[in-house]
Every structure is written in C-alpha cells, then in structure tokens.
Chain A
Amino acid sequence: MLSSLLAHAPLFPIRLSLQVAFMATGVLIVITIPISYVFARYEFYGKSFLDILLSLPLVLPPTVLGYYLVCLFGKRGVIGHLTYKLFGWTPMFNWWGAVIASIVVAFPLLFKTATSALSSVDLELEHAAYTLGHSKWSTFWRVTLPLAKKGILAGIVLAFARAMGEFGATLMLAGNIPGKTSTMPLAIYNEFIAGRLSQANFLVVIHTLIAITVLWIVRDKKTKSSHSLC
C-alpha cells in the first residue's frame, strides 16, 4: 500500500526543494553574517540607504524581485551576459535560478534577525576580550557569535522556511519545468491546476511536516541552551 503510494508520489519536487533550500541557506549564512556584523558594529556613510535596499525583498512582491533578477541574470542581463560569454551558461531555467531566487527573497529575514542578535551582544564584552589579548577574529568566534547564536539560528530557520516556500521569483527566474525546476510550491500549483488533488495533498502535507520539524528543532535547541546558562 505504502510502496504503491510512494511509487506514484511526486518525490522529485521534494528533493529539489530541499536541495534548493539547503544550498540557499548555506550561501546565505556565509554572506549574510559578515554583512550583519558590519551593520551591527560600524557606522558608515550610506548605511541607512543600504539597509533599505537590503530589506527591500521583505516588501517587494516576489514577481517584481523575479523581474529584477531576470534583468540581472538573463542572457542580456548584466551578470547573465557575462556568465554566458565566459561559460555559455546562465542560471535561467535551471535549479541554480531557484537557488538565487530563494537567496534574494530569504536574505532580509536572516539579515534582520542576525543584525539585531549581533548588536544585542554587549560591546563591553568584546572590549573585555580585546584587553585580554584576543584578536577581533577570535573575539567574534569565542564571544560575539556564541552569544548571538540563538537569534542567528532563528534567522537561519526563518530563511530556510522562506527558501523552501519560494514561488514567485523562482517562477520568473527558473521557470516551472516539471522534473527540472518545479520545486514543491510550484508542483503543488501544477497538481492542483491539473486536478490531481491526491498528489497536491501529499505535497501539502509533506511541506507542513517539514515546516513543523524545522520549528521543533529550533525550539529544542533553545531550551537546551537556556538550561546550560542557568
């Protein structure tokens, strides 16, 4: 019974969505945390403007973002033109397009939470570490990051969930090609439109379960770390 259900189950969208969300979250962690640290600790010219620019994906409709991304990464776009010339490749209509769309859409969620978590770490603790001989790098790893961990982790989970659920920008940049770029949300839409409700139901339940699991993991970690501190 179960095996026959799985045989007909649209497993590809699940795998693709997870692959896209993990890749996007990984890239986001690497690029966002240093940016958040700079925003939390330094004042510089044009900071407010840059903050607005980086937070735009929060309020812009995903299709508008997708349009911008096509302008950037399409064959005639600034970046797409370059990559096409050099490698004969653009991220349009393949899974990298979905990754880029997810990165851009989920970026402000991690950026905002990580910035507020990092700026809530008392500057005096960093100063204490400096006077005890630790470099900025060592202080970041041993003091700032462990103390901002909870907030950053929450941001990572939010970003992951957002990346999993990305629809509009992905549709614009990667397209909706079943078996190639149809992520879970797109597949749900396809199955629903085609009237294959059992398939749609299956994907909806899977999506909900993944969301609950992710939130559960974070909740568990939070209680553990607060125990160890008390």
Chain B
Amino acid sequence: MLKLDIKKQFNNWTLRVKITNEKKRLVIWGPSGSGKSLTLKMIAGLMEPDEGEISIKGNILYSSKKGINLSPQQRKIGFVFQNYALFPHLSVFENLAFGLKAFFNKNGHKEQLKDKIYYIAKRLEIDQLLDSYPKQLSGGQQQRVALGRVLLIEPDLVLLDEPFNSLDVALRYKLRELFVSISEDFNLPLILVTHDPEDVKEIGEEMAIIQKGLCICARPIPVELIKSNRQQLQDPIWDYIKKQEIFLDKESSKRYISYAHPVETEINKENPKRCSTKHYIKSFMSFQLKKIFLTKKL
C-alpha cells in the first residue's frame, strides 16, 4: 500500500522514517515532538523531504532520485488536521462541498453533488447541521465535518493527525468505532498519528513507532491486541507503548536503530514474529537485558 522512506534535516535533528505497510489502517505512535505530524505533512505533500521516496499502491508521489514531487493537489490524499481546520467563514455544507471542484463550476452537476453531500452527511450524522457554522459545533461534530469533507473527494488515502486529542473519553470511543467502520465501508486506507495507546489498539491493523525523529519499528498489530482485552495480553509492545515516558538514550538508540533498520521497519507478513520488537524493547527496559542484547548482536 504505502511505501515510505524519507529523510529530512531540521536545525538540530534529523527525521528518518521508513515504513512499508500492507493493511488498511496504519497507526503511527510516538510521544509529542517525535516527528509524527511532520511525517504526515510530507506524505500529503505539504512539506518536502530532503531525500527518499513516497509511493502509494505503486504510484510514486515523491522521489528524490527520479525528481518527482507531486503537489498536494495532485496527490488525492485526504488530511484531517489536529484542530480540524474547518473554514470558519463557510457553513458546514460549504465546508463539505469545498473539495468538490465541480461544485464551483457553472456547468457542474450540482444536484448530483448535493445528493452525494447529503449521503455523507447522513452517514456521519451531521445532516441536521448543514446550515451551521464551525463555531457553533462541538468538537466531535467538527471532527465529523472534517472527515466528511475529506471523504467527499474520494481520496486514495486519509491521513489523521491526532484526531481525538481534544475530545472527551466517551466521544473518543464512539468516533474510533466510526472511523473503523468508515474505513471498512468505503474500503479506505487510513494512516493515523497518535500518542494515545488506545488508538493503536482500537484502530490499527499495523503500527509504527516514531521516537525522536526515527521510525524505530513498524509491524502488524498482533491479533491478540485487537481481540483480547489488555490483561490477557502478553505482547511487550503494549507495555512499551503504555510506558511512553521511556526514552532511549542517545547511545543505545544508535545501536538499536542500526539493528532495527532496515529489516525491522519492513512489515513481514509471513512471519510477523520475526519483526517482533519483544526482545530489544525489553532490553531497553532493563540494563541486564541490554547487555545481553549487545553481546548477542556483536
């Protein structure tokens, strides 16, 4: 589906992300300031990487080697921004219609487009709000308008930047379910960026961890994580995500990365265990294990 291999130098740090995913819903998890949102911006074409390649379903969107860099308008990628980015001067209906170029043409089939907008609005339960303005909506309603606006352009991929950040817990559950069902119904690939472990569990089919600008692993989420409840879960990745305060120190991070790249960032469909982060993540949690890991590696 998505093939991502990008590098970008900022003032005093480098963003280096390499992910190849196969399934429909990828969750990129990482603490704040790790470079997740920047990665999304580069996928959408809102920021240019220094080098690398981005492709979706074999279509190259960016390639420094081939000199390709499609504009955001050409990429057909929907972007749901963290603060929703609804246009405050336009009504909900106008916001939804904003991506339908034909709507602005005199000869566009307006009636047909209107039906399409009403259908999506009904599906997202915002059909009663079409005449309202974004300021009058609650956070959850704004979120659904932002999603509806993106769905109407029939994108190849939808990017979601911390979509549930400013919502209360009950609403998060409801919206997570909605996002998953929309993704299934419309056969729509999603990439969701979050620092909330629940999002990984509830939405993701595959996950990637970005920390301090580096993608340290990417792999399918084990079925147990999705189906079973947390107590029964043996997978250490979950523990790791829960303890998000744990950061790698620079030295171990370097070794870890050299070990993790490039094999561990390629999701191995046949043998997911092979890319399990189990061993080396544990090694960072205990000094003893780290020593063993390093000896093994050497």
Q: Which residues of B contact A132 (CB under 8 A)?
A: 98-99, 149-150, 153
Does chain B have a CB within 8 A of A129? yes
User: Given contacts A133-B99, A229-B135, A230-B135, are A128 and B85 in contact (CB under 8 A)?
Assistant: yes
In Å, the complex CA distance between A124 and B78 comes to 14
Contact A125 B87 (CB under 8 A): yes
Does chain A have a CB within 8 A of B139? no
Contact A131 B77 (CB under 8 A): yes
Q: Shortest beta-carbon distance, B100 to chain A, in Å?
A: 9
In Å, the complex CA distance between A122 and B134 comes to 15
Does chain A have a CB within 8 A of B88? yes
Q: How many residues of B contact A (CB 8 A)?
A: 26
Q: Which residues of B contact A124 (CB under 8 A)?
A: 81, 83, 85
Of A128, A131, A135, the most chain B CB neighbours within 10 A belong to: A131
- Scan residues 95-154 of chain A and give those whose CB is less than 8 A from a CB of chain B: 122, 124-125, 127-135, 142-143, 146-147
Q: How many A-B residue pairs have CB under 8 A?
A: 59
Does chain A have a CB within 8 A of B79? yes
Contact A130 B72 (CB under 8 A): yes
In Å, the complex CA distance between A146 and B85 comes to 15
Contact B153 A125 (CB under 8 A): no
Contact of B98 among A122, A129, A146, A229 (CB under 8 A): A129
Contact B88 A128 (CB under 8 A): no
Q: Shortest beta-carbon distance, A223 to chain B, in Å?
A: 16
Contact A229 B85 (CB under 8 A): no
Contact B73 A128 (CB under 8 A): no
Contact B78 A131 (CB under 8 A): yes
Beyond the given pairs A128-B79, A132-B98, 6 more chain A to chain B contacts, judged by CB atoms under 8 angstroms and listed by A's residue number, are A125-B85, A130-B73, A131-B44, A132-B149, A132-B153, A142-B98
Instruction: Give the interface of B toward A (CB within 8 A).
Output: 41, 44-46, 71-73, 75, 77-79, 81, 83, 85, 87-89, 98-99, 101, 133, 135-136, 149-150, 153
* 5 nearest CB pairs, A to B: A132-B99, A128-B85, A130-B72, A131-B79, A124-B85
